[in-house]
Structure 1
Amino acid sequence: MANITLEVRNYFKLELLISRSYNPLRNLFKTRYSLFNNGQTWIDSPTCGNNYLTNVITKNKNINITPAQKTSVANGNTSEWDISTLCSILLFSRRPQTLNSNDIQQLDQEDKLVTQLRDTRNKLVHHSSKSVDHTEFNQLWNDISTILVTFGENETELDKLKEDSIFDLPRQIINEENTNEAKYFNSLGTKAHKDENYSEAIALFIKATVLPGVSDHDRAAFFSNMAASRLAFYKQRFYSTDSSDDDNKIEKELDRALKDAKQARKLWYTWWKAHFRVGLIYAVLEDHEKAINSFERALALDPSRNEIQQPLAESRIIVHRNSRQEYTDLQADWKPIHERLNELKEKYGIDPEQRRQFDNLRALLDPSEADVLKGHKFSLGDIDVIQDYEQAAKYFAKAANAGNAEGMYNLARLLDKGLGIKKDHNLARQWLEKAAAQPTQHPIITGMSNGCVAEAEHALGVRYYEGISVCKDFSLAVYWYQRAVDHGSAMAANNLGCMYLDGIGVSKDLQKAEELHELGAKRGNAVAMMTLAEILLGKNDFQMARIWYDRACESGNIIAQRDRAKFMKMLENRQQCSPDIQEAISKATNYCLLSQSKISASVASEHHYLRDYNMLCEHANLGSITAKNLCTALEHYAPALNLLLSFETFAEEQENVFVHELSQCYRIETIVAQIPGNMHKKVSNIIDRVLRRCTQESTSSVSQLDEDVRVCYATLNLNSYDLIEQFLETCKQKYPRSVHFFLLSGTVHGFKRQPDAGLFNINSGLEIEPSNYELLYHKAVLLRHIRKDMNEAIKAYQQFITIAPKDHRKIPEAYYEMAICYMTDSHTPEVMMQWIHKQYKEGKEAERLQLPCFLPYKSEHLPFIQPFIDMTEPESNVKPTPIKNRTQHLTDPERVKLILKHRMWEKTTLDEKQNSAYKSFSTTVKPRVQQHTDKSLIGLKSITLREMNPRKDHVYTGYVLSVTIIEEALSWNPSIHLVIEDENFDCQRMLIYEISDEEGEQLTSKLYTIGKKIHVINPYLRIGKLDMKPSIRVDDISSIVMQSKSEWILNMCRYCCEANALKFCGQCRQARYCSKECQTSDWKLYKHKLICKNK
């Protein structure tokens, strides 16, 4: 145990101290039971327990305990009730009306202490690093021990738990004969366990545990082994085909296993394996939050134990799935292939036999595709194939080794789940990285996307978000999610949308969050549909909120289906409110969303500071200290980046230079060091190598390189709070005069919501550099979070403002945060409003002094005070969301992708016209249903593209779709391909079939050209057979009615779609533009070059 750090020892000392609250809380419960029940005495028995559960707990909704805790209560043995159960019962039990004032006063005081104890215990339990620094330890120890002494515990006995001796073997009177006999039984039990005779093993371990005079550590090992045998026995009987097994008896064996594991933990609290064993059983019980907590405790006690990593990663994977509700979508099920094909036929009219023929064609063109198809057959099962994961892994591995991305991804999935191949999360990650590195278009089959590249990118995003087999890194999660979104992933759009909604790893952006959720919803993610519905409800868009929620239900999402009545009731109640009330609720919802951010260390920035270097130099020459600092930081970052881009591998000296330059940049201004996502692993490997080299050379000697690499390592891994918190402790000890380590340490504690510990580190840094304004700002923030003395926090903010450069990027924020200090302190409304207004105006004035690269200014705290400003200054109202216009839609990812695909199609047609040797072939499949026209528009209801389900093959009979043609066609075989836009500026493909050669030329060159407006009667939203993408399909040309010429957009700009564009493309002389900016955007975004030829 000598290797356990001081901080980890502090954590477990506090846990042992809290465990001493069991007896006082039990005694308090029994005393209250007697007081509340006319003097009756509680007897630890099932009779008492069942009566209490039936008559008290089930009738009191405020007593919120788990099913397992209810079972424990029903058993009636209070010695088995955990602290959470006792606290819940004590705090929320109904008091009799007959109590006198003295009883009430005493109960109130006791409740106050129980609440403090519960909150402190919860804070400690969710302390993911399982380490507590000296300052926080002393504070928590004093708080807990004071409560326990009040409840009757002996202070001298409690203080003994502070001693490090608790980590040593306890002094006990040992009976050597009994010990030897117990160890003999243990060895026999271990052998029986290995032979899978678990009942015999359990019986032998019981004999070992009951012998007196055996040390606690030995008995802990026996209980741990017995728990392992009970768990193995449970699994053996659970998967047994023997129908004579009593299910209730089997479940009880699992309960006993948990009790044994907890007993081992109680006997030897600082033994890693005891916590590990508890975690394994919680994982089987599917209580993965508790499993993670136990695994993290085990890892803190012995970080070298690799066997902890895999079950910890598995529990984190499951927690992620549950948090994102991935388990609730039917599409996530691994259904057999023939069932999937039948679903495609039912939903989209795709003939299963034709689909199989297409797959056979893939296999002929690319042998690795044949292995992928065989892998799917064995992993999912098919009519003629029995599911066999081992065979599936074999074929996926063969395809993966041949460079097939889909094979790589599916092999990684099997490795993650341990299906048909040994479970290995690290190897799975490596295959995912290889899959994500493949081209997005199939390397052999032209025109076909490379399957599973986007899925691999999304899976890597999840790994970095949750910290599964990698250090948690939100900026890398953003990078991989964004790549996956760009390549078509629906789940990545949902997950990235959540990050923008919560402000995790990115600056909070509600508009972008909505766009991403809409994108994910359109691509078929049911969770994104639900979130989008809630966002739209908050904006009073009741029609689309209802539509998207219903689509989530139709997709099969069980959570959406379960909560539909609740959501619709909320929607209907909102609809019944007056417009003014609706607007007020919308504003309140928006302010709430803006002000609720989850804290994360690294925030991915979309601003590229290297491009600002010349501008910053100009401001620096004019006297701006902030601009000068940014320039200096960039001058260190640029050579580091240049090395990164110039050399695939680094020599040792190059690594040293890279680390030095990057560390200098981090010390001056971290935000400018924007390492490209695809190079993050390379940078991490360089820093790891240099750190390992410095550590191997000497663990005690100091050097500039060692200090530099520590700065880089800590900054790069700042989101892995637990890892970096402990790492920084060693850095501060080795470099006690390095202010940057104290700043980073204070920052990490702040992100972990440990402001007291954070403030201790910041103050330590200020002792070295009293005028360091970065430290002063963090001091002010931490004082505000502690909430003990807001005047002290304000004083720190004012000191920061006085010392920092006037254009420092945090000065406006400091004013807004000072305003919040008065909102949380006891001031009269008049004084509070005056103060808020004063700080608001100062903040706005400070915004004017900001450098151009920080404008428009983004404040995290302004939304907190904005409602108070709006009360007295209506003209300053912030609208919840701006009204969308076409300009906002021009860069929509789906619109860009749609237009690019269409122009690639046009390019193919142009190539055929200009080169007779160039031929392409295309086919079409008969639609699942037939579209029929009506004789007149009269009586038809209007419909827009967003009201049509993009995932449902459906004819909207009785409706008319009114659109503008924004991309024209050059061919009519097999159909006329257009891109249309509706009144909401939403876009879609439109395919017109059954066109003869005689009319094709006339329709494409004269009638269906850009700017023309048309009505489509009974529009048919068709899902494509191969790409599964939506389009508007027309099989009866009479269902298209041209709008009047006065409605057309004449001389339409090819980029922004506005009328009367006077400029022409200088090369093709076909495309019109209303400005140089539009022409540039059309070339860059929509790749006008594809169609820039003389037609």
Structure 2
Amino acid sequence: MNMNLSKNKAETSSARFEDLKSRANECYKRNELHKSAQLYNQVLLIDNLSNEQKAIVHSNRSLVYLKLYEAINRRDRDFLFKSLVDAEQANELNPKWCKTWARLGQIYAELNEYEKCIHNYTKALELEPSNEHVKNLLAQAKTLNFEQKRLAHFDDSYAPKTTEERTEEEFKKIADRLGQENTDRFKHTFERTKQDLIKSDKSLEYVWLGHEHRDGSSTCKQSYELAAKYYAKAAKMDNAEAMYNLALMHKHGNGVKLDFELAINLFKQAASQPAFKRLIGFADAPNVGVAESEHMLGLLYHQGIYVAKNIEQAVKYYERAVEHGSAHAANNLGLIFMNGDGVDMDLERAQVLFLYSQKKGSLEAITNLVFVYLAKGDPEQALLWHNRDLKASPILATQRHEQIMMEISDLRARKSQFDKELVESLINLKCDLNEDPCYPHSIRSQPYDEKMLAEKAEQGSATAKKMLDAIRLFNQALDQFSQNKGADLASIICKMAQALQIESLVCLRPMDVQNKLLKQLEKVVDENLGKKRCELDLNARICLMYFNMSKYAQNLQFINKSIEKYPHCTRMYELKASMHIFLKQFKMGIKQYDYVLSKEPHNSLSTYLRAAALKNSSCFKDALKDYERFLSICPSDARKVPEAHYSIGFCKPYQNNIYLA
């Protein structure tokens, strides 16, 4: 009897669920949104609903609240937050449903929280990889996130202007230069030339009509739909400018379906056109739309928008666009070489590209010239371009001003100290040739004061104790080696390797001992080639790596060979990372530090050096995290603490800025 009652009750609940849900859906279709929401409220009061049924109702009501928010022109966010709560509830009830993840993406897009938006769209695509609608929404979110990060809204050159306004601006420039009478004659000539061009190429009429309807004017009402139709007509006639503008409309979903696949195909069609063409009265005029499409394709591959991120493809399209006169492509290509993003870092090439971009009118290039001169260690040129940046982009440049000036002051101080030390070293070399020189492994030219270190260690300095232990152990081994005191070679090399790994900075060697030591270490390695792993060979290799730190490429090759024999020696990976950094191969260096830190999470030195590499790669947000972690795990008196605090101050203003065009 009880079983029958339960069955009847379940059937009644299911029938009521279907009835109310169907009525709510019908109200939604008729745009009766408030009534639809009320009916969904009633559905949720039904007993014995399954999680799947609840997820459907919360998802549908979330959509209703989102439409209510849009219906009031997005003035009241209460509906938006109700939509978010429902979407989260639906997602919790059915986390394997693509629709709930996509709905969360839509809501976070409305909230301008694009990182969360991208995360949710990505989750949705993991569940339905072939969902084109979500693919397009994800690509759109990445585009908007990119625009938001590069702070394009502060750049007047990106402010929307109608074709009519741009034309009037050009006429005003001519009037200022040649006078109004000459300008009137120029206007007449311009209109006559325009008509002649249309007669010779009908597609140009459709392009200009597309521009007029896209922007609106004093004589034409703005209409994306009509603009798209005119661009489509001209695109069918192989007009590159029309293809480019129609592609942009599909990329943004303006008046046409949001469709990145179609947009990319149109960009590629435009990019395949000749870069120059003959027009009446013009020899080899730029074919508008070609360079612009090449730049856009470079940007899409560079940022991984809709297509997989592919730096090789990005560079190819950027280079073509630069060749055809694109200032924005030159700026973005310069950034790739400045940051070593998928290519070998090349500051000289980056500088040339930024200068070209700046001459062509790019404001971003002015900002990036400041950074490239800082990276090159040229404070005076950095200051020159920073002052120009303050005039060109006062809001953003002022925000960066304090940190830029700190970096310039620091560079000046370091340059002054370097010049002073260089002069002193030349004088010492000239005046005292008989003195035993110290092998230049360390930045210090004189041994550390053991007495001072001992005092600091007794006072509780962990850094001083570490340095003191390294000095005593290394000097003991060095003394035994140079005076042949009877200690076996394996013991000497073991002590040296230990000391170098404790603190290599303090392990200084006289040149005559250095040369003998190198020969002995190389002999040990040669004798063990092709043989089984042994402690003596391992320690000899580690010593050679530290002693040859100034021979970057040669040492890197030796380290790679040694890792093949000793793949579990973490210290070798740390030294390999250093070689990559010295060679300005930051991404490869960071990869090695990642491995070291996966084995030694509390390795404060590797944490600091990884942060420095990230900073030099302009990955300021990640660098900040590493600098802060370094400070949390290192001794309070660690040598790199002041530099870490300074670097945190330097990175903070830039952590969300990307100066791409």
Q: 2:354 aligns with which of 499, 508, 517?
A: 517
Deviation at 1:500, TM superposition (A): 1.4
Aligned to 1:234: 69
- Matches for 1:732-751 after TM superposition, within 5 Å: none
Deviation at 1:279, TM superposition (A): 0.8
Aligned: 1:285 with 2:111? yes
Aligned to 2:563: none
Aligned: 1:403 with 2:238? yes
Aligned to 1:565: 398
Aligned to 2:252: 417
Provide the C-alpha distance between the structure 2 equivalents of 1:347 and 1:225, rounded to a whole number of angstroms. 56
Deviation at 1:308, TM superposition (A): 1.3
Query: Over aligned residues, Cα RMSD in angstroms?
Result: 3.6
Kindly provide the CA deviation profile for residues 649-689 of structure 1, in whole angstroms up to 9, marking residues without a partner as x. Answer: xxxxxxxxxxxxxxxxxxxxxxxxxxxxxxxxxxxxxxxxx
Aligned: 1:581 with 2:407? no
Provide the secondary structure at the position in 2 that maps to 1:442.
Answer: strand
Provide the C-alpha distance between the structure 2 equivalents of 1:440 and 1:545, rounded to a whole number of angstroms. 35
Q: 2:81 aligns with which of 230, 239, 255?
A: 255
Provide the secondary structure at the position in 2 that maps to 1:447.
Answer: strand
Deviation at 1:505, TM superposition (A): 2.6
Q: 1:579 to 1:425 in 2, by over 3 A?
A: closer
Q: Choose between structure 1 and 2 for higher RCO, CA contacts under 8 A separated by at least 6 residues.
A: 2
Q: 1:837 aligns with which of 541, 546, 558?
A: 546
Q: Which amino acid aligns with 1:562?
A: I
Aligned: 1:365 with 2:82? no
- Matches for 1:692-711 after TM superposition, within 5 Å: none
Q: 1:431 to 1:178 in 2, by over 3 A?
A: same
Aligned: 1:532 with 2:369? yes
Provide the C-alpha distance between the structure 2 equivalents of 1:444 and 1:392, rounded to a whole number of angstroms. 24
Provide the C-alpha distance between the structure 2 equivalents of 1:284 and 1:864, rounded to a whole number of angstroms. 41
Contact 2:499 2:507 in 1 (8 A): no
Contact 1:174 1:215 in 2 (8 A): no
Q: 1:258 to 1:829 in 2, by over 3 A?
A: same
Provide the C-alpha distance between the structure 1 equivalents of 2:390 and 2:554, rounded to a whole number of angstroms. 49
Contact 1:574 1:582 in 2 (8 A): no
Aligned to 2:634: none
Deviation at 1:432, TM superposition (A): 0.7
Deviation at 1:585, TM superposition (A): 9.9
Aligned: 1:862 with 2:579? yes
Deviation at 1:201, TM superposition (A): 1.1
Deviation at 1:380, TM superposition (A): 1.4
Provide the secondary structure at the position in 2 that maps to 1:491.
Answer: helix
Q: Which amino acid aligns with 1:862?
A: M
Deviation at 1:215, TM superposition (A): 0.7
Q: Which amino acid aligns with 1:492?
A: A
- Matches for 1:63-102 after TM superposition, within 5 Å: none
Kindly provide the CA deviation profile for residues 408-454 of structure 1, in whole angstroms up to 9, marking residues without a partner as x. Answer: 10111111122222222111111111100011112444331101211
Q: 1:832 to 1:576 in 2, by over 3 A?
A: closer
Q: 2:160 aligns with which of 334, 337, 340?
A: 334
Q: 1:578 to 1:364 in 2, by over 3 A?
A: closer
Identity of aligned residues (%): 28
Provide the C-alpha distance between the structure 1 equivalents of 2:499 and 2:173, rounded to a whole number of angstroms. 56
Provide the C-alpha distance between the structure 1 equivalents of 2:38 and 2:229, rounded to a whole number of angstroms. 42
Contact 2:98 2:125 in 1 (8 A): yes
Kindly provide the CA deviation profile for residues 872-913 of structure 1, in whole angstroms up to 9, marking residues without a partner as x. Answer: xxxxxxxxxxxxxxxxxxxxxxxxxxxxxxxxxxxxxxxxxx
- Which structure dedicates a bigger proportion of its chain to helix? 2
Provide the C-alpha distance between the structure 1 equivalents of 2:500 and 2:90, rounded to a whole number of angstroms. 46
Provide the C-alpha distance between the structure 2 equivalents of 1:519 and 1:187, rounded to a whole number of angstroms. 63
Provide the secondary structure at the position in 1 that maps to 2:238.
Answer: coil
Kindly provide the CA deviation profile for residues 836-869 of structure 1, in whole angstroms up to 9, marking residues without a partner as x. Answer: 53353676546899xxxxxxxxx985364589xx
Provide the C-alpha distance between the structure 1 equivalents of 2:155 and 2:130, rounded to a whole number of angstroms. 38
Aligned to 1:314: 140
Contact 1:325 1:527 in 2 (8 A): no
Provide the C-alpha distance between the structure 2 equivalents of 1:553 and 1:379, rounded to a whole number of angstroms. 34
Contact 2:379 2:411 in 1 (8 A): no
Provide the C-alpha distance between the structure 1 equivalents of 2:305 and 2:42, rounded to a whole number of angstroms. 40
Kindly provide the CA deviation profile for residues 772-793 of structure 1, in whole angstroms up to 9, marking residues without a partner as x. Answer: xxxxxxxxxxxxxxxxxxxxxx
Provide the secondary structure at the position in 2 that maps to 1:286.
Answer: coil
Q: 1:474 aligns with which of 301, 304, 311?
A: 311
Provide the secondary structure at the position in 2 that maps to 1:448.
Answer: strand
Contact 2:382 2:408 in 1 (8 A): no
- Matches for 1:593-608 after TM superposition, within 5 Å: none
Kindly provide the CA deviation profile for residues 133-154 of structure 1, in whole angstroms up to 9, marking residues without a partner as x. Answer: xxxxxxxxxxxxxxxxxxxxxx
Kindly provide the CA deviation profile for residues 248-287 of structure 1, in whole angstroms up to 9, marking residues without a partner as x. Answer: xx21100110111001011111221111111111112221
Q: 1:393 to 1:551 in 2, by over 3 A?
A: farther
Q: 2:55 aligns with which of 196, 199, 220?
A: 220
Q: Which amino acid aligns with 2:397?
A: R
Q: 1:498 to 1:585 in 2, by over 3 A?
A: farther
- Matches for 1:138-287 after TM superposition, within 5 Å: 175-238=10-73, 247=75, 250-287=76-113
Contact 1:501 1:510 in 2 (8 A): yes
Q: Which amino acid aligns with 2:354?
A: H
Provide the C-alpha distance between the structure 2 equivalents of 1:214 and 1:578, rounded to a whole number of angstroms. 68
Contact 2:28 2:64 in 1 (8 A): yes
Structure 2 unpaired stretches of 5+: 1-6, 178-182, 420-496, 510-542, 559-575, 585-661
Q: 1:208 to 1:402 in 2, by over 3 A?
A: same
Structure 1 unpaired stretches of 5+: 1-171, 240-246, 587-820, 850-858, 868-1095
Provide the C-alpha distance between the structure 1 equivalents of 2:169 and 2:256, rounded to a whole number of angstroms. 30
Provide the C-alpha distance between the structure 2 equivalents of 1:469 and 1:432, rounded to a whole number of angstroms. 13
What is the number of equivalent residue pairs in this alignment?
A: 442
Q: 1:365 to 1:417 in 2, by over 3 A?
A: same
Provide the secondary structure at the position in 2 that maps to 1:403.
Answer: coil
Contact 2:347 2:376 in 1 (8 A): no
Provide the secondary structure at the position in 2 that maps to 1:495.
Answer: helix
Provide the C-alpha distance between the structure 1 equivalents of 2:36 and 2:96, rounded to a whole number of angstroms. 26
Q: 1:518 to 1:364 in 2, by over 3 A?
A: same
Aligned to 1:1068: none
Q: Which amino acid aligns with 1:260?
A: D
Moved over 6 A (4+): 821-825, 846-849
Provide the C-alpha distance between the structure 1 equivalents of 2:226 and 2:324, rounded to a whole number of angstroms. 30
Contact 1:836 1:865 in 2 (8 A): no
Q: 1:343 to 1:547 in 2, by over 3 A?
A: farther
Q: Which amino acid aligns with 2:547?
A: K
Contact 1:454 1:488 in 2 (8 A): yes
Aligned to 2:443: none
| Normalised TM-score (structure 1) | 0.37
- Matches for 1:279-678 after TM superposition, within 5 Å: 279-347=105-173, 349=176, 351=183, 353=187, 355-445=190-280, 446-539=283-376, 541=378, 544-552=381-389, 554-555=391-392, 560-570=393-403, 572-573=405-406, 579-582=412-415
Q: 1:861 to 1:404 in 2, by over 3 A?
A: farther
Aligned to 2:470: none
| Normalised TM-score (structure 2) | 0.60
Contact 1:440 1:449 in 2 (8 A): yes
Provide the C-alpha distance between the structure 1 equivalents of 2:78 and 2:194, rounded to a whole number of angstroms. 50
Aligned to 2:478: none
Q: 1:184 to 1:547 in 2, by over 3 A?
A: farther
Q: Which amino acid aligns with 1:531?
A: N
Kindly provide the CA deviation profile for residues 110-144 of structure 1, in whole angstroms up to 9, marking residues without a partner as x. Answer: xxxxxxxxxxxxxxxxxxxxxxxxxxxxxxxxxxx
Deviation at 1:227, TM superposition (A): 0.6
Deviation at 1:462, TM superposition (A): 1.8
Contact 2:369 2:382 in 1 (8 A): yes
Provide the secondary structure at the position in 2 that maps to 1:508.
Answer: coil
